Amino acid sequence: MQKSKLGLDFEKVEYARGLAKGIAQDVQTFVEQYTTVAVERTLCRLMGIDGVDDNDVPLPNVVVEALKDKGVLNEGALFFIANAMIQTGLSPQQIAEKVATDELDITKVVTTDPKAIADVLQPVIDESMARIRARRARREHYLDTIGEGPKPYLYIIVATGNIYEDVVQAQAGARQGADVIAVIRTTGQSLLDYVPYGATTEGFGGTFATQENFRIMRKALDEVGEEQGRYIRLCNYCSGLCMPEIAIMGAFEGLDVMLNDALYGILFRDINMQRTLIDQYMSRIINGFAGVIINTGEDNYLTTADAVEAAHTVLASDLINEQLALMAGLPEEQMGLGHAFEMDPMLENGFLLELAQAQMTREIFPKATLKYMPPTKFMTGNIFRGHIQDALFNMIGIWTHQGIQLLGMPTEAIHTPFMSDRYLSIENAKYIFNNMRSIGDEMEFKEGGICRNRAKEVLGNTIKLLEDITKEGLFTALEKGIFGDVKRPKNGGKGLSGVTMKGANYLNPFIELMKGKR
């Protein structure tokens, strides 16, 4: 058993992990009985269906809505598409186009035997899997040849609303030293029940996540990565009502990191908890297969609750998220479990409390690629103090061996910071990381001191919370408001109408293939 610098009782840690596993298994039992419109649209995309109809409605939406309107979506989009392929000799794309023009009703095609369906699907499945494997191999080739920056990866955001302007900002950030470029999504995209098509130039507070935008940015980062002699990772968001669809688009286009957390969608976007947990499962299967690191959203709880009092909710959520990810076949190394330095800067010894929590998270999740968020809640007004807060945050990041460091910067509140401020923030992090590279290996934590006591307190509170959730079940616990002081109804929120129980003919061969084969 590993030795804890904080004196953590690992028997208690494993007890907490066992509670989280039980909670996750309860959720998983529910999830595996259902599908959603987003999952079925994802399967259409895996079959090669893309593009829009004459009204700019994405063809995956057209096909799935046709099945939903006929009341047969629970039998699975793949079943009807494969059946139509056998009877018509058309490709999935051609079938979708005919559905869009009302030339074909795929629910009325004569049903064929299961073996014929499996035979016609196999080449299409193989092609999609090969496409994702090729993208993953391309990333691994870059890492083997030009390499990458050291951890913690320096993570910055771009959010102009125009993908072509984002490219300019992203390449400038990479040249300044960034390792991960996150393209922020336009305000409200998480609540759209479709994915826009093509390159976009008119987002607000961010740029639409589309497959073409992913392609454009991936190409731009590969160019600047070759120029700089290190691989630059691309991050976007597969959260909201289209979690698995955006995950598959990212897998096809070579994204490296995805924000991916159902609890965030439930609490902060009022998305129906049943729908989004089903969608999350499919999206994480895809991300696992594609080698994509997921970032979870626990840090957001602390923006609505006191960071000292609510610290245990972050750890409890990390533990539940870890178990849900493992059930989707996602390796620990691809888990960017979230936490943040959101304490009031006027709090006495706040640095020590946060140092304890960051070290505790690293020790509890030793293999994970942890994502560390900067102090944002208290950074309005005094940008000079904010820059010092970011320096303290960077010290904890290198001290506790974080995986991804989302850099804070003086003008980050406008989402597209001044390039000079971005430079200052990257310089700040690089300076501290270089000068303090081995501090985590050198320093010990005093027996009975502030840090050890804080870690013990947070772990104890986490166990109590997980015990309470075990009694209630996650759905009921969320309804009662245990994370971030937000209550959500089990049978409410956005997207509930998109959930359907699977029927006898339900078909999704991608799940076990992606979970079982890397």
Query: Tens-of-pLDDT digits for all 518 residues of the chain?
Result: 568 999 999 999 999 999 999 999 999 999 999 999 999 999 999 999 999 999 999 999 999 999 999 999 999 999 999 999 999 999 999 999 999 999 999 999 888 888 999 999 999 999 999 999 999 999 999 999 999 999 999 999 999 999 999 999 999 999 999 999 999 999 999 999 999 999 999 999 899 999 999 999 999 999 999 999 999 999 999 999 999 999 999 999 999 999 999 998 999 899 999 999 999 999 999 999 999 999 998 888 887 788 999 999 999 999 999 999 999 999 999 999 988 998 888 999 999 999 999 999 999 999 999 999 888 767 666 878 888 999 999 999 999 999 999 998 887 665 667 788 889 999 999 999 999 999 999 999 999 999 999 999 999 999 999 999 999 999 999 999 887 778 999 899 999 999 999 998 899 999 988 987 64
- 340 phi and psi, to 5 degrees? -150, 155
Catalytic pick among 264, 281, 301, 506? 264
Give the residues across from 158 on adjacent strands: 183
Count Cβ atoms within 10 A of the Cβ of residue 207 and give its class: 0-12 exposed, 13-18 middle, 19 or more buried.
buried
Entry field: residues in the chain: 518
- Give the whole-angstrom CA distance, residue 357 versus residue 393: 12
Please pick, among 371, 372, 494, 506, the residue that the annotation labels catalytic. 371
Q: CA–CA separation, 320 vs 21, rounded Å?
A: 7
Q: Which of 344, 327, 349 is nearest to 277 (CA)?
A: 327
Pairing mode of beta strands 499-501, 34-36: antiparallel
Rounded Cα gap, residues 235 and 258, in angstroms: 5
Nearest to 241 by CA among 279, 295, 268: 279
Query: Any long-range contacts for 206-210 (C-beta under 8 Å, 24+ apart)?
Result: 206/159, 206/161, 206/415, 207/158, 207/159, 207/160, 207/161, 207/162, 207/163, 207/166, 207/183, 209/183, 209/185, 209/236, 209/237, 209/238, 209/246, 209/249, 210/249
Choice among 279, 299, 318, 390 that is catalytic: 299
pLDDT value of residue 414: 59
- Cis-peptide, bond into residue 366, ω within 30° of zero: no
**193 a catalytic residue:** no
| Nearest partner of 191 among 240, 262, 239, judged by Cα | 240
27's enclosing H/E stretch is helix 10-31
Burial code of 288-310, b = ≥16 C-beta within 10 A, e = fewer? bbbbbbbbbbbbbbbeebebbeb
471 annotated active-site: no
Kindly list the strands in the beta sheet with 257-259, ordered across the sheet, starting from the edge strand earlier in the chain.
335-336, 293-295, 257-259, 233-237, 180-183, 153-158, 404-406, 371-373, 338-340
pLDDT score for 479: 94
The Cβ-side half-sphere exposure at 135, using a 13 Å CA radius, reads 25
Let me know the angle formed at the C-alpha of 337 by 416 and 360, rounded to the nearest 5 degrees: 115
Counting Cα atoms < 13 Å in the Cβ hemisphere of 167 gives 18
- 264 a catalytic residue: yes
Residue 448 three-state SS: coil
DSSP state of 405: E
CB of 321 closer than 8 Å to CB of 263: yes
Write out the E strands in 272-370: 293-295, 335-336, 338-340
